[in-house]
Amino acid sequence: MEKIHLKNLNYKELEDFVEKQGWKKFRARQIARWIYNKKVSSFDEMTDLSKDIRKYLKENTQLNALELVTYEKSKEDGSIKFLWRLQDGHTVESVFIPEKGHNTLCISTQVGCAVGCKFCFTTKDGLIRNLTTAEIVDQYIQSQRFVGFEPEKRISNIVYMGMGEPLANYENVKKSVQIFTDEKMAGLSNRKITISSSGIIHQILKMYQDKEFPQVRLAVSINAADQKTRQEIMPISETNTLQDLMKTLNSLPVKTGYRIMLEYVLIKGVNDSPKDAHKLAKLIGKNKKRYKVNLIPFNPHPGSPYQRPDEKTVEQFHKILWQYNIGAFVRWSKGKDISAACGQLRKKDISNTQLGKKVSFITKTALNVK
């Protein structure tokens, strides 16, 4: 019989599991506290549970969904890229990003990606599979465990901007958001969680219509202000056209303070001209208060035909948007020196021999991460 993975369960499901075993309902709260507050790595650490309960959990459930293979720490900005091994041998990456006043974790939702954006390294392998809820949630728990529990190292922000299209893994992403925002579980603020999508219109609508999906922030990769250019670099635009996408975004019931982020990767000679900036401003039109534009200078990766624009071009584009009173910000991605920046994450192939060596090294060094 396959063991139940506890991190696949939202709080209601965890309560149902506890009651099914004939245990008191408050045991669910205790188990959740050990997993999400204490972030323990073994059932033996759950000391306020009886030995019989711990024995049952150990024999019938799973606690950890990932193994840490290796990590790289940026010398430029302190970002840490983690390589996780899944139980079936596949790997995914996530990134811890220290920022002024808070820390962000960029998490993955799929092994590979099927969307096919031509400027993104992740999509080169295509889609291999969706991550389970446990595999998504465990990136947060194990990353926090790795960097430490001092207040200044607390991960308060989560962005679904790693490998994969989050809304193509809808149910597992939804449940992970429930776990992250439930005060009896991870207890993170809804406002500090962002789901990034390539613009799958029916899934965006579903997310906003689904009463069980906690409202969090939405970011949409737009990357061009005209259909022709967007379709060239984002094939998904053939069926999810720019016109239909903007019509949908303009109609969403967005809460005050939850502006939609339009992500725009600036690619030299493709979408970075003053003309493109004016077209983007026109596309947003009268809906300035609904959006924030995130300008991301392209991050090069092996085999890419594209180049990053120079700083002068980026600033000119930025300035034009501000002339239209559009809230626009340049995001100079962190972790570039370790290939951890936007669009640079990718599945890695590893051998069991490599795994053993790297985990041994990490076990000795993890506590020394500054």
| Helix 170-181 × helix 133-147 angle, to 10° | 40
Per DSSP, which regions of 192-290 are E strands? 193-197, 217-221, 260-266
Q: Which amino acid is it at 70?
A: T
Q: How far apart are CA 149 and CA 214, in angstroms?
A: 26
> DSSP string of 234-259?
-GGGGTS-HHHHHHHHHHS-PPTT-P
Q: How far is it, in rounded angstroms, from Cα 63 to Cα 68?
A: 14
Question: Of 106, 113, 120, 342, which one is the catalytic site residue?
Answer: 342
Q: Exposed, middle or buried by CB within 10 Å (0-12, 13-18, 19+), for 211?
A: exposed
120 is catalytic: no
User: Which candidate, 221, 219, 166, 156, places its Cα nearest to that of 190?
Assistant: 156
- Please identify which of the residues 93, 135, 165, 263 carries the catalytic annotation: 93
CA angle 317, 323, 325 (to 5 degrees): 110
- 3: which 2 tokens? 């063991």
- Residue bearing tokens 């993975």: 5
CB 216: neighbour CB atoms within 10 A?
20
Which DSSP string corresponds to 339-357? T-STT--------HHHHHH
Told to judge if 106 belongs to the known catalytic residues of this protein, a careful annotator would answer: no
Smallest CA-to-CA distance from 163 within 351, 334, 342 is with: 342
In angstroms, the CA 90 to CA 125 distance is: 12
Is the sign of the CA dihedral 11, 14, 20, 23 positive or negative? negative
- What are the residue numbers of the active site? 93, 342
